[in-house]
Chain A
Amino acid sequence: MSNEDKPFTIDLRQLKSRNKDGSPQVVQRVDAAGEGLGFVDRSAKKQRGRRPSPRTGQVHAKVLPHVAEEIGNEARRRGVQQGVVIEDAWALYVKANNPD
């Protein structure tokens, strides 16, 4: 048999779409049928907890709620990330403690 030979040919007219119900009610019934046999939800779950900062890749240190709120408000007012406010505060701290 040469590589170009086709042992069978597909008649496209015979490949007909068949109506299959995919409504939420049907999906619910199918889920229930599957769960009875151990076919359960195994989709990847989102990780819990604080997401890393998109700017630094770090998870920020946690502070008391009223401080977090004040930092958040100041960051929003300036249109910067909260980390920028903390970096400014750290710069002031370093300056205050290292006068030279």
Chain B
Amino acid sequence: MPVIVVASPKGGAGKSTTAVVLGTEMAHAGAEVVLLDCDPNRSISLWAERRPPPPRITVQSDVSEAEIVRTIKRYDADGRVVIVDLEGVASRLVSRAISQADLVLTPMRATTLDATIGIRALSLVAEEEEALGRPIRQAVVFTMTRAVKSKQHTAIEASLLGQGVDVVQPPLMERSAFSALFEFGGDLRSIPAQGRMEAAIGNAALFAAEIYKRLVEKAA
């Protein structure tokens, strides 16, 4: 099964939101999804406690550094997607999770600080590719973006693209529906309406479709 590791050593970059949006959209599209909550803040677990997760989603909480490789392997089966949500720190848990990844997804807000710290995850992936002798696909997704792109956003994106970094389009925009997932649990189709729900669902679904495309493409 493809393993997606959502990693950035920067806190508040939108890792848990990205993991829940991606997991719920993939489950809605028909995949069996396992969400591994490795963050001591337990954001994914809190989401799952609000109401039972939607069909085809399993959540496993409190996965530690010592268990991460074993836990990912336990869920390894065709037809499923494992999404690993990590704490926003530079830890050994992060490097071990990345060693089992098919895709490392680094969410970052379009700020210089997020980009500077988030780029460390990309460096780690490159280092692990060398250590493991296998390619690990990685991509950046901008989070909490606005309809009108800021100059900072444009510059950071151009810089990443210039370095050959895969930047997922569309970004995950700043939407009250995304943050409301953690208030109500469930998915974007089951929570009470928050702002422009159709736009939020459309954004989430297109984002998930782009990630799915990367999972099934043959390794370059």
Contact = CB atoms under 8 A, between A and B. Distances in A.
Most chain B beta carbons < 10 A, residue from A22, A29, A34: A34
B147 interface: no
Contacts of A22: 69-70, 72-73, 99-100
Contacts, number: 129
A2 B66 CA distance: 44
A43 B212 contact: no
Interface string A2-32: 0100111111111111101110001101111
> Binding site of A, secondary structure by majority: helix, strand, loop or mixed?
loop
Interface residues of A, number: 36
Contact of B202 (A1, A33, A39, A40): A1
Given A15-B80, A38-B90, A7 B95 contact: no
B26 interface: yes
Contact of A14 (B28, B29, B93, B216): B216
The size class of the interface chain B forms with chain A is 35 or more
Contacts of B92: 31, 34-35, 39-43
Contact of A12 (B79, B96, B102): B79
Contacts of B28: 6
Nearest to B75: A17
B69 A40 contact: no
Contacts of A91: none
A21 B101 CA distance: 11
A36 interface: yes
A78 B166 CA distance: 69
Nearest to A35: B92
B54 to A, nearest CB: 13
Interface stretch (B14-22, B105-113, B121-129, B171-179): B121-129
A1 B198 contact: yes
Interface string B53-84: 00000000000111001101100111111000
15 contacts: A1-B201, A3-B201, A7-B206, A8-B205, A8-B212, A10-B31, A15-B80, A18-B2, A22-B69, A31-B95, A34-B124, A36-B127, A39-B91, A39-B92, A40-B92
Per CB-CB distance, the 6 closest pairs between chain A and chain B, nearest first, are A34-B95, A8-B209, A12-B79, A42-B91, A7-B205, A33-B131
